[in-house]
Chains A and B, each alone.
Chain A
Amino acid sequence: MGSYIIRRVLQMIPVFLGATFLIFVMVYALPGDPIAAMFGDKAADPAQVASLRHKYYLDQPLWKQYLHYMNNLFHLDFGTSFTGRSVADIMADAFPVTIRLALVAFFFEIVVGLPLGVLSGLKRGTIWDTLVLIITLLVISIPVFVLGYIAQTVFATDLGWVTPTVQDSEDITQLILPGAVLAALSLAYVARLTRTSIGENLRADYIRTATAKGLPRRTIVTRHLLRNSLIPVVTFLGTDLGALMGGAIVTEGIFNIKGVGNILYRAIGQKEGPTVVGIVTVLVVVYLVASLLVDLLYAVLDPRIRYA
């Protein structure tokens, strides 16, 4: 196991460098001049432009800019945004909000998605199964921005149960509606994945053995069936939690939550290079660590999997 982890961590290094370089190229090498944009409609003073370019390292070739950035990153310095605010500051504001939202969404996925999947998997072919299949199919096909608007209009504007936008992201009750909207798609996947997994395991020999030796159904389901069926679901949930940390551009936009997705969307529109690169770098690390943990979790849950 130890050598496996070391190998995986070593493999993560080129992926980290590659992904950050890719985003670096997309942000800085593609057309669009952030310095010119800073002046808006005013005519820019060439000397000032030159000094700004120098300050942000934009007068250097791209690879040098990247090395400079990586060097700073190594000293945990994410740089300054073009508005003069430190990128680390911006992230320190945005990430807690997104993490709270992600946890609310994650809660819904487990508390609603799992039971739905177990229900339809155990009662395969009944009306409950069909119902769950239809509902999840609908949720998967309705885009999140439509779902978000419907939820906002119905629950906030018409019924008045919640405020249409999130005023205070520290108040968990305000995050319930956006969290549910954000969770909807993954929730449907969790339900379907659980259903398929249970369906496959129900035919397994060990279930037949357990039935044949006269175990009560409850024991078979909880001790034998669920434990094995939930392995792929748990790994999906792990990957998804990593993805949820990346913020939700659409959901955070609709409910005006000042999280990572919202900040990132604005930064992309305003060509705020340092902010975009900084946040995406963190997201890449989160993704890499999450997928490593999921693989390790897999080995813990399924004793047949051994990493050498």
Chain B
Amino acid sequence: MPDVHDENDPKPLPPPGSGHLDYVGNQGLLVEQDTLIEPDPAKREEARSLWGDAWRDLRRQPIFILSALLIVLLVIIAIFPGLFTNANPRQANLAKDFLRPPDWTDFFGAGWWGYDGQGRSVYARVLYGARASITVGICVTLAVTVLGGLAGMAAGFFGGWVDSVLSRVIDIFFGIPLLLGCLVLLNAFTTRTVWTVVLALAVLGWTQIARVMRGAVITVKQADYVVAGKALGAGTNRLMFRHILPNALAPVIVVATIALGGYITAEATLSFLGIGLQDPTISWGVDISSAQKVIRQAPYVLFFPAAALSVTVLAFIMMGDAVRDALDPKLR
């Protein structure tokens, strides 16, 4: 280990007496060196991993903080929409409220953002619509990460015929455009809930993560510590999940975060096209679609759900961007 006493080497040394004889031996050397080069004490204080570094970076990034706050707020709205409004999103009073314009003085009230073409409160519908979007986004992302992650891991780790077969399966699913495949798949269901949409997007969307994971695993697999683990007799599971997975996860997490925004857009697009969510589920996509008819008289009916959708997607994309910058050592 000729590099151990290099001042730039970030490799942590185990505490003395932890049984690593060769390390203890080297530490003597290092101490000697320390007195010579006097490294910055703050630098030596903690051993930082890629994740530790990324976290330190992220906490200082305004974009990350902004998007994290937005996402927390959106998740709270999705879970407890009733906290922010007393209005019932399904209550429709056509005689009184048909396309009633927004009343800007009625903060957080039913009429704050006006009423839609069926006399329903736009404000309440935007709040209650968050649940479908956020649920679809998070559930699809979790599903594709697990599904694609396992497939990519297996293909990358085992190589050979397993890789050949899995890669062809990935290619097959990749060849069918996501939106198009979902349209065909969802059209077969006459009643569609959030879970139907999640299923369709997950079944056709896992390939992206699988490809990223496969590539990452193939790179990591050749690292010395994996070879060392193998030489020390680590089993397949241990190698895969303790040695390779933590080190191959970074690109997967970045792609998954950015894709989350994409899945929310996909759900809204499907609902907009009439082949996604249906009543009684409240969905921004459906509301935007029905707002088209009244866009001339009442643009706000289109504006608010569209803005909510864009802000949600924006929050996740910004989060993904920030995480990518933090995890990318090239930008450091």
User: Interface size on A (CB < 8 Å)?
Assistant: 42
User: Interface size on B (CB < 8 Å)?
Assistant: 42
Return chain B residues, CB-CB under 8 Å to A172. none
Whether A22 is near chain B, meaning CB under 8 Å from some CB there, is yes
Return chain A residues, CB-CB under 8 Å to B175. 15-16, 19, 284, 287-288
The CA-CA distance from A166 to B292 in the complex, in Å, is 18
A window 11-62: CB within 8 A of B: 11, 14-16, 18-19, 22-23, 26-27, 30-32
Return chain B residues, CB-CB under 8 Å to A287. 175
Q: Which residues of B come within 8 Å of A, CB atoms?
A: 168-169, 171-173, 175-177, 179-181, 183-185, 187-189, 261, 265, 268-269, 272-275, 288-289, 292, 295-296, 299, 302, 306, 309-311, 313-314, 317-318, 321, 330
Return chain A residues, CB-CB under 8 Å to B188. 26, 30-32
A18–B172 contact, CB under 8 A?
yes
**Known A22-B176, A249-B180: A143·B268 in contact at CB below 8 Å:** yes
B85 to chain A, nearest CB (A): 23
B168–A250 contact, CB under 8 A?
no
Return chain A residues, CB-CB under 8 Å to B296. 153, 157
A143–B187 contact, CB under 8 A?
no
The CA-CA distance from A16 to B171 in the complex, in Å, is 9
Q: Which residues of A come within 8 Å of B, CB atoms?
A: 11, 14-16, 18-19, 22-23, 26-27, 30-32, 137-138, 140-146, 149, 153, 157, 200, 243, 246, 249-250, 253, 264-265, 268-269, 271, 276, 280, 283-284, 287-288
**SS class, residues of chain B in contact with chain A:** helix
A153–B295 contact, CB under 8 A?
yes
Given A14-B168, A30-B185, list of 18 further CB < 8 A pairs? A11-B168, A15-B168, A16-B175, A22-B176, A26-B185, A26-B188, A31-B188, A138-B314, A140-B314, A141-B261, A141-B314, A146-B302, A149-B302, A157-B296, A253-B273, A265-B273, A271-B187, A283-B177
A200–B330 contact, CB under 8 A?
yes
Return chain B residues, CB-CB under 8 Å to A144. 269
**Known A149-B295, A271-B187, A283-B177: A18·B169 in contact at CB below 8 Å:** yes
The CA-CA distance from A271 to B317 in the complex, in Å, is 35
Pick 15 A–B contacts, CB within 8 A, sort by A.
A14-B172, A15-B172, A18-B169, A19-B175, A22-B173, A26-B188, A141-B261, A143-B265, A144-B269, A153-B299, A246-B177, A265-B273, A269-B274, A283-B180, A284-B175
Return chain B residues, CB-CB under 8 Å to A138. 310, 314
9 A-B pairs with least C-beta separation = A30-B188, A18-B172, A141-B314, A19-B175, A141-B313, A146-B306, A15-B171, A142-B310, A26-B184
A145–B272 contact, CB under 8 A?
yes
The CA-CA distance from A157 to B292 in the complex, in Å, is 13
Return chain A residues, CB-CB under 8 Å to B317. 137, 140-141
Return chain A residues, CB-CB under 8 Å to B289. 145
Give the interface centre of A11, A143, A153, A265 by most chain B CB atoms within 10 Å.
A143
Return chain B residues, CB-CB under 8 Å to A268. 183-184, 187, 275
